[in-house]
Amino acid sequence: MKKRVGFGIGLLLLWVGCSFFSPAELSEMIPGMSKQMDKLECWLTITFKKYPSGIDPRDVQVKFSSMALEQPEVFDWEYIAAHDVISLGFMQGFKENPASVPEGRPPLEVPLKVNFPLHAKQYLYTAGETIELTAELFWGGKKVASSNRTIEHVYE
């Protein structure tokens, strides 16, 4: 019994360590319908922690995939930086985040909040399957973070 507990704790520490040492993280993934209720969108917060060596720091992509999407969708650093916003408070709207600009490097330790428009299928025929949306962050061509959420509420 001691070996199993030790092995489980070791796996947990490895998982926590991998996310701790990752150069970036994804958080606050909030998928849903747009205000006009005409398309799927996903709010996602990206935090870059340290620049990986040997790459162009602007070689950033966020890839969304789901059985609900027409096809996987990829957004680059130019899109992310141009659409990064800061909340003005509850129901007050947003303003551009001056910390991120398309021609600059991703700012470190600054949460970037971006709304990604997604092309979802109008109808889904599932047999009790969980419908998930996955976001993956690639930096220098290497996956450095991912997150997923269920999106059944969009199709009710």
pLDDT category of residue 20 using cuts at 50, 70 and 90 = low
Quick check: 137 and 147 in contact, CB under 8 A?
no
103-126: pLDDT as tens digits: 999 999 999 999 999 998 888 877
The answer for residues whose C-beta is within 8 angstroms of residue 128's C-beta and 6 or more apart is none
- Position 81 scores a pLDDT of 97
pTM comes to: 0.82
What type of residue sits at position 134? Answer: T
In this structure, what is the dihedral angle of CA atoms 43, 111, 19, 116, given to the nearest 10 degrees?
20
Q: How far apart are CA 113 and CA 47, in angstroms?
A: 9
